[in-house]
Structure 1
Amino acid sequence: MGVMMKHRNILALIIAFLVSITVLGCAKKVSNQTPPESNQQAQKSSASASTVGKSVPTSSAAPAASKPKQQLSAKDILKKTQGIYKSFRTLSIDGAAKVTKSIAGKSKSTSGSISIRFARPNKIRLKSGSGKEASISVCDGKNLWLYRADINRYIKIPAPSNLSKALGGSLTVKLLEGVDISSRAPDAKLLGTEIVSGSRCFVIEGSIEEPLAKGGSAVTKLWIDSISYLIRRARVVHRIPPEAFPEGQTRPKSALVVTQEVTFKKIVPNEPVSSRIFRFAPPPGAKEAKEADGAEQDPLLGAPAQFFTMPSLDGKEVSLYSMKGRPILLVFWSTLSPISKKHLPVVEDVYQDMKRSGLEVVAVTLDGNKDAAEQFVKENHITFPILFDYDKAMRVANSYSKGQMGLPTIYIIDKKGFIAGKIVGPGTAEQIKNDLAKLGIK
């Protein structure tokens, strides 16, 4: 099974960054007056099935929110919304997303298109960006392919049981999978209604999306069509204060604000989707990144290690910087990688033999299946910290890989904090001990 971690990283970032706010919108024009609750119930089915596939221009400005007439709470509306998504047999959507980063008075924005084709139980085709910025994820129900255009490489793994986790925690896919978002946001409130692309929408705000960093905050605003209960626009504002940046890295003097926004121009539910859509054809010249391709000379060898803080499976914060002054084995692994799962117990044996010499071992999990990771750790009696934070793990892996990473990969960090060695693939306990011996660790 092929796993290329930089590929996974950028895909995860794009998907988590763009798709996690992709919570679908319809384009049916409605009157400027919010219909009574009874009329909404009568019109909901026909609106979501027969009229949401039309393309409409995005309005340049939305009028100020006005209070809705019906006595619906934010939780009521969110429950109706998640029920609509859960009922879809298929779904085709197209839209545009924008991400703006602001810090110390300076801002930078990037924009791109996004499309999703979905069919139950677990088939999906997701494309975001264009040209060298494009990424494609395809699942045919048996396998999942992840492609990244800028390096023209892809990976293939068995289809996960939970697509949303595999695709970076996409809120859209979570809704399709039946996740109860109304319970995730107990602070959600109904602000009123606004017109979006000619349709009157409820405006709901709350902590629906998770923060990008521990210690940060995230405020989600959803524009939900008042007839079809589909989400036409979503905006998430993340605030990352200086203290939330990892230890050992330069921290800014002011908070970083990341605003993600997506608007959908077209949605077509419950219409046939050709099975050909879910076939992955590698783009011209694209190569598959194989698991444990072998270790080539890594430009990071001899360079200072990138220190970071990340929560372990039990929720405790683990700081690599606090281990400086002791030798460290930094292991990158995944529950989706059979070789990783065979190798981690070998690392545990080395740890038990050498922890009295001051050896520290930390494993970074590069997939989103926490339950599988916890079960594996329990069954194999792993005692060193297993770190788990999908988005952060991908960013850390990218900072180390500088191109591509086979799994498993071990970086050996010496007592001074420099990268002194690297082992790719199923290294033996003897190999790991020999490399540590070169650093005077026995």
Structure 2
Amino acid sequence: MVVSYRMRNNRLLLLCVTLLLCAVVLPARGQRQPAPVRPGEMPAAEGFAVPLLFVFSYSGDLLDPAALDVMRRSAAAALAARVPSVRLLIDNAVADQSRGRALARDAVGWIELSLTEEQSQTRIRAAAYAVTATAPVFEISYREPPGLAGPGLRRAWEPAAAEFERTYGELIMVALGDVRFTTVTLQAVPGTRISGLDDADHTVPQSGLLQLRLPAPLVYSLEARAEGHYPLQRTILVGEDELQVVLDQRTRSAYSWDLGLANAAYPSLEVARRLSGDYAFVRAGLTTYLIGIVPLLDTDDRSPEDENRLFIREDATQFNLQFGTYLHSAYGPLRGYLAAGGLWRMIHTRGFWGGDPVASWGVLSTLGVESHPAERWRLFFEWQPALYRTDYPEILMQRLPGPVHVRGERHRAEGDAFVTVDTAGSWVASLGSFRLGVRWQP
């Protein structure tokens, strides 16, 4: 029996190809790291918001997590309402972890607010710190009646919010105002592009050492990109002493492996090797039809018995070899690519082992897109139109998804035999082939 594997729903394939074309044609640009807040250049309130970590702690009999979350957000809202230019980053850190969490989240300082409920009173303590200092910029403690709720809860934060508003300028001056310049030495792969330290990108020279004079104390979020390596993001605190930072950049392997499904039904395996930089590549692989998932295949040629089966097989395997290039950089959310090459179809049964008598070879092209190219594991989708040379176009068109007879005479075969009265040199295109799966690049 000749198995037909045309898609049931051509509209779905058309939609996928349309989305693929949009992803490939539109540039997939990576997100640049924002420049750090420079001392003496505080932006307006309606622009950039100064990041401060907000750490809330509670001690008492209230065990409902939802109620605690309401209390935490009520306190944060009261503080933020007094200083519109601040952006509070709510965090679940404990007090002794606040500095580390603030640095990890690119905050210039943090606010600690604790509430302790007792039988006769509620004690509230608030304090603000800069990441560049050890002593608090302000600290206030006061008491409120027990059982805070509703309007009473909002009023309870007012003394802390008023003190925060009064000392906010001092907090920023402590965090950003004491400006000095410190020599920072970055050790990285030669040719690495460093961004996020100032308004310009810097390239690491052949020595592998890049020296910069940076305002301090200040927290920086840098990004390092090098050809043949995965991008690296890192946060550093530049203080008064000279700083040397070693960037641990992971090498991007020259090889990648694909595991996918051709036409969402047949297993496919490919390996690719990078040829030049992060763009040109060569890849080879195979798709076997020894097992296929039935529900997505056309069932016109199958008996009712086959209709109820989950898997189906055909004694055939297709091998392919392609050369291609990526269309975008390796740092965006999506990365498109093109490839072209040849394919060879093989029949392997007990009575025959060799090239497919109907069409043993063809020309294969690929238009694909992969997600998260800066990570080791990715998802991919490929549209793979192919062109076959055959003497039996009628038989071949029953096998291919989305077949189109391009040129040549069309002679119908006699029964199931691969014999015709007169051979017909024809070209048949398959426009419905696609492939999806996962890609791994160590």
TM-score normalised by L of structure 2: 0.23
Question: Which structure has the highest strand share of the two?
Answer: 2
Greater relative CO, 1 or 2 (CA 8 Å, sep 6+): 1
**Larger-gyration structure (1/2):** 2
TM-score normalised by L of structure 1: 0.23
Question: Which structure has the highest helix share of the two?
Answer: 1
